[in-house]
Structure 1
């Protein structure tokens, strides 16, 4: 049996529903549904979608997380009561902010929807942020000054792509690029154009179908007290150094003396 088969069986038993009733709700025969539950047949996308809607559970959770090991009350409820995001709360019942450190960053793509993985993350509390689900992510590279390696960007979870705004910065989790922190230029129907604040790096497009999560910038936790002007100066200096290298390379290729 597959994890999906185990999950839909566990959900049906948990809700004390018969196989016949589930099959009727899905507008299929009981015999067809039984094959999905015992793992002898794989459910097509349309049936997956109907089952997810029936139990108000995301397809991602049905396919990748063992529902038997978690309490759905500890998952964040999104639009239409859809359950998708594991959350942690403190003793006062307030949402904790999980911090994805550099050490565990590599595992986030596999564990972002796994409550056991989320539970192991370090946690902090920032009461001034108010209502919402927040998470901290590490900065890597020099593409978004004044943020530097080792800084933590705290973002608010964005439920729908339509909520994101041009000019704002976001942590974007994608299947191909992994975790990136960028500024949104344009938000088209199926594509986002994002850019770095360090103009040395060119803008690029992100397909909406490739996006797993988006977190809108709320605040940062930084170790450096360098002025933005200093960082910009360093960035400009680096750009001229790279430009000089490129010019020397071009001259070398065309046989000109330097």
Structure 2
């Protein structure tokens, strides 16, 4: 438990809590919190369970991982694993959409849980999106026609893999394939896997073991760029299109309210 004391203190501070507030939330004394943070005492199992539920992070991660580099108190759960999930917010504490550029999409597999990597991505805000955390992912190839290679899928982060709606499309970050966009079917109970299906029938369906799924994002909208060739698309023009789309839809929302 070499990391536990520092992790408790670090995440408490990230959440903006004093020891008194934290102790009150967990229904223990402030001195008890202090003893755990200063590594003068080892928390019992029942406290670790409460701590895990409060932080929304597994006991295993709290004990075995150094979370001191985390700059955001948000976490995700994929399958039975919890991983640090950096979310970018603006000055009003509203979620921003990070845009994963085509040239950096291969690096997303290495940097998806790295706050520094996420921090350096271009960001926009789309006011028309539903509640949730969204990112914009580049699409390569023709497996999901009519979505063209070079287009972007804006997708909402899904916390529970089990909440997949069969037949809907998702961005799936997998251990071996990186970013893929497919129609997904939940076969976890039968096979411990997800079935990935392309809309272009020349590509065969295939299975991905659930323990290889790192992130899951549900389709919200696509920016199809049929009038452009792939080499003509730049990140700045994609960001401009997304932002303009947000402005236009926000104005329509005002008109029809």
State the TM-score, normalizing by the size of structure 2: 0.66
Change (3 A) 1:62 1:168: farther
Question: What residue in structure 2 maps to residue 105 of structure 1?
Answer: 105
Cα separation, 1, equivalents of 2:76 and 2:185: 29
Change (3 A) 1:178 1:61: farther
* Matched-pair contact (CA < 8 Å) for 1:61–1:84: no
Change (3 A) 1:125 1:62: farther
Cα separation, 1, equivalents of 2:214 and 2:63: 15
State the TM-score, normalizing by the size of structure 1: 0.66
Corresponding residue pairs, total: 198
Question: What residue in structure 2 maps to residue 255 of structure 1?
Answer: none
Per chain length, whose mean CA-contact separation is higher, i.e. which structure has more relative contact order (CA < 8 Å, sep 6+)? 2
Unmatched runs of 5 consecutive residues or more in structure 2: 11-32, 229-257
Question: What residue in structure 1 maps to residue 156 of structure 2?
Answer: 156
SS of the aligned residue for 2:217 comes to: strand
Correspondence for 2:200 among 180, 198, 201: 198
Correspondence for 2:35 among 14, 17, 24: 17
* Matched-pair contact (CA < 8 Å) for 2:195–2:207: yes
Cα separation, 2, equivalents of 1:167 and 1:9: 44
Unmatched runs of 5 consecutive residues or more in structure 1: 28-46, 227-258
Question: What residue in structure 2 maps to residue 211 of structure 1?
Answer: 213
Cα separation, 2, equivalents of 1:63 and 1:136: 32
* Matched-pair contact (CA < 8 Å) for 2:100–2:136: yes
Q: CA deviation at 1:12?
A: 4.2
Question: What residue in structure 1 maps to residue 130 of structure 2?
Answer: 130
Q: Higher Cα Rg: structure 1 or 2?
A: 1
